[in-house]
Structures are given as C-alpha cells and as structure tokens.
Amino acid sequence: MSDLINSPETDFEDPDVPAGPLELPLDAWHRVRGGRMVEFAGYWMPVQYEGIIAEHLWTRTSAGLFDVSHMGQLYISGEGVEAALEAALPIDLATLPLGGVRYSLLLDETGGILDDLMVTRWGTGFYLVVNGATKWDDLAHLREILPDAVTINHLDDSALLALQGPKAAKALAPLVTGEQALESLSFMRGAAFKLGGVDAWISRSGYTGEDGFEISIPAESAAAVADLIAGQADVKPIGLGARDSLRLEAGLPLYGHDMTADNEPVEAGLSFGINKRRRSEGGFPGADRMIEALMEGPARRRVGLSIEGRMAAREGAVVLLGENPVGVVTSGGFSPSLERPIAMAYVEAAHAVPGTNLFIDVRGRKLNATIVPMPFVPHRYHRKGAA
C-alpha cells in the first residue's frame, strides 16, 4: 500500500475535533463510481477506482479529478493580518500579489516543520490550505500564536477538488466563465470564476508535478461540479493511491513522512519556502536554527534514490554505505512512469551527492540504489512566459 494511505491520522483528543471517520461531501459520488474507500486523515476517501497504475498513467497523459476536500481551508483576516502571518510563517507577504499563491511552512520554536501549506492573497485577507491530517493541530496552533485582532475562519462548508494532467486546461476551460480566461492563469496564480454557475476559486496549482488546477467550491455544489468535470472525455476520477505515486515521482514531500517536526526546512530541501527578506531579517519561529543551517549546511539532506531491480523500499528502510547506516527511507514505491522503484530518504550530508552508490536494507536484502536529482519525472507546470 502506498505511503499516503499509511499516513498518521488526526489525533482526536481535542474536543473541538469531530470523531471520525467522517464522510466528505462526495462520499456517495465516489462509491457510486466504484471507489474503494479507506480511512485517511479522519475521513472515508477513495484509494482507487480501476487501479493505481492505470489511474497514475491516465493523469500523466490526460486529466485526473481528485477529491482533496479533507484538506483544511482557512481564511485569515483582520487588523494587522499581514504582519501577524509573517510572524507565524517564513513568508514575504509584501511581494505576494492579489490572487498570488505561495508555498510556506508552519514551524515550531526550534524550526521543526509542523506542516506545509499554501497561502493565497484574497482581498484584505489570506486563504490557506493545510494538510488534512494536521488541520486541527494547525488551527489550534494558529489560534494560539496569532493576535486576537486576527480572525481565523475554517471554511468547513467548502469542498476542494484538484484537476491534474496535461489535458486539465482543455477539459476545464469550456466549463468556466470569469473576468479573465482560465488559460491566462499561470502556475501559482488564482482567480474567482463561475463553474457551471457555481462560485469557484480556481488556482493553477497541484501536487502531482503536472499542469492542473485546484478548485474550491461550496460543499453543497460538489457533486454537481464533479459530475460536470468528470463528464469531459479527457477526465477520470483518481484515488489517493495514484496521488501518492504521482507526488513521489514529482519529488514532492508528504507531511508526516518526508518532513515532520524532527526536520528543519534546509535539510528537507524546502529552503525555497523561506523568502530572501525573511532569511536576512528573521522574525519567524525557528529562524535562528534555519539561518544557521543555510550558512553552515545541514547534517543530513533529503535525497532521491533510484533502485535497481523490481523490489520497492518502503518508509523506515535503512540506507547503507557499505555496512554503515547513513540514512533512512521516508517514502518509496514503484514508479509507473519509469517502470522501476524509487524512493526519498534522509542521508548524511557528506554522502548526499548525486551519483553516490548506496544500499537499502529491505528485510535483510540489500538493494542497490543511487542518489539521483529530483524530481524523478520532470515537472510540467504552466509557468508565466513559458511557451
């Protein structure tokens, strides 16, 4: 089973957190279409429909529709919200335009990663999308560290869909109307549209490495919108299993596996999420540790591994240099696109150089592995100015 399905689930000790597993707005929609449902992050979610490999390859060549409504959608506003968020996140909001989307990190006081998230400027406030398995902890953390003048609205009456793949724009464009054409959106930009008559916030973003869109809509309209999108010839519904294999090929880390509170951003390869001004000024949780890691280099690094043979290495497998342990696998699986096993791991910095030959211990069997650059499969985002 994929690493995604084995992710740690929400701790439901907080009385404000509903007992699970809960049903997403599209629960019945998935079941009618043959979705095999599993419990993930406190919800019933489809792991697959016709098969993980088939769904993975369809997304790489056409367009896959994912239900990611388990993710936390927040709107943060109020007096001094920009300064308050900059004190909580290592992000430069002054350079984030209206409708701009930016990756950021929620850090603890020692610089450990509590979650990764997306931040979008919405009018006088900010729209955040956080991970489903951590959203209740994130909400509690933000309520604790943000000042009383700042309001946090949990948009729990909204659903979130992701349409990913090279034919995503072709499939979605005829269905939307707005003040600008959908095709005018570049990677990490969003705008308000009407989708089948439904108010929708659509950003050109996603977590598969492909071009695509994330679509926030009222939960009550989720089934109608999903029917409309899935009715396009190039679109099929895709489950959690393929979402995990796609993000692994794209070299994208999964919270709870490839990054946790035990990791700081530099060793996790996420220092791009700390903007230049914030690196020099600091003023966010864990800034001293992160700046030190940037200057001196981390003790270990997240790397990609190409594995010989057909056997996959899973999370927790030990990485060896000769007989000596030098790291541990955090995500691994068979790559449908490359037709071979791949993995991500943390490896001692001295040995984290592309081309380094290592072994991975899988139940006493040593697999030959080589450190390779990530992503394993090239990203195909629709960047501004690109042909």
The pTM is what?
Answer: 0.94
What is the percent of the chain where pLDDT is above 90?
92
Residue 230 CA to residue 46 CA, distance in Å, equals 15
**Nearest residue to 377 (alpha-carbon basis) of 238, 253, 206, 246:** 246
**Is residue 310 a contact partner of residue 342, using CB atoms and an 8 Å limit?**
no
User: What is the per-residue pLDDT across 313-322, written as a single tens digit (0 to 9) for each?
Assistant: 999 999 999 9
User: What is the per-residue pLDDT across 164-189, written as a single tens digit (0 to 9) for each?
Assistant: 999 999 999 999 999 999 999 999 99
What is the percent of the chain where pLDDT is above 70?
95
Residue 352 CA to residue 330 CA, distance in Å, equals 15
Q: And the tokens for 69?
A: 């409504």
Q: And the tokens for 242?
A: 């393929």
Domain borders along the chain are 4-67+156-249, 299-387
Q: CATH number for the 299-387 domain, one of 3.30.43.10, 2.40.30.110, 1.10.3720.10, 2.40.50.100? A: 2.40.30.110
Average per-residue pLDDT for the chain: 94
Stretch 280-306: mean pLDDT, rounded?
Answer: 95
User: What is the per-residue pLDDT across 329-366, written as a single tens digit (0 to 9) for each?
Assistant: 999 999 999 999 999 999 999 999 999 999 999 999 99
Q: Alpha helices, DSSP H only, in the chain? A: 27-32, 52-61, 81-88, 135-145, 168-172, 222-230, 240-249, 276-281, 287-296
Q: Which CATH class is domain 4-67+156-249?
A: alpha beta
Give pLDDT, residue 385: 73
Q: Alpha helices, DSSP H only, in 120-239? A: 135-145, 168-172, 222-230
Pairwise pLDDT comparison (124 vs 8), residue with the higher score: 124
Cβ contacts of residue 66 below 8 Å, gap of 6+?
Answer: 161, 162, 163, 164, 237, 238, 239, 243
**Residue 379 confidence (pLDDT) above 60:** yes
Q: And the tokens for 94?
A: 């002054």
**Is residue 186 a contact partner of residue 203, using CB atoms and an 8 Å limit?**
no
